[in-house]
A and B are shown apart, each in its own frame.
Chain A
Amino acid sequence: MTSKAAVKESESTAPDRELSLDLYRQMRVIRSFEETVQALFLRGQVHGTTHLYTGQEAGAVGVCGVLREGDWVAGTYRGHGHSLAKGVTAQRLMDEMLGRSTGVCGGRGGSMNVIDVERGLIGCFGIIGGSIAAATGVAVAAKQQGRQAVAVAFFGEGTSNQAYFHECLNFAQVLKLPVVFVCENNLYMEFTPIEDVTAGEIIARPQAMGIRSEQVDGNDVWAVRAAAEDAVAHARSGQGPVFIESLTYRFVGHSRSDPARYRKEGELDRWRERDPLLVARARLSEEFGVPAESLDALDAEVEAELELVAERAMAAPYPDPATEMASEFKA
Chain B
Amino acid sequence: MIQTLEPILREHPFFRGMEDQHIRLIAGCAKNVRFGAGEVIFREGDPADHFYLIREGLVSVQFVIPHDGLTTVLTVGGGEVLGWSWLFPPYRWHFDARAQQDTHALAFDGKCLRAKCDEDHDLGYDIYKRFIQIINDRLEATRLQLLDVYGTHA
Are these two chains actual partners, yes or no?
A: no
* Chain A residues packing against B (C-beta within 8 Å): none
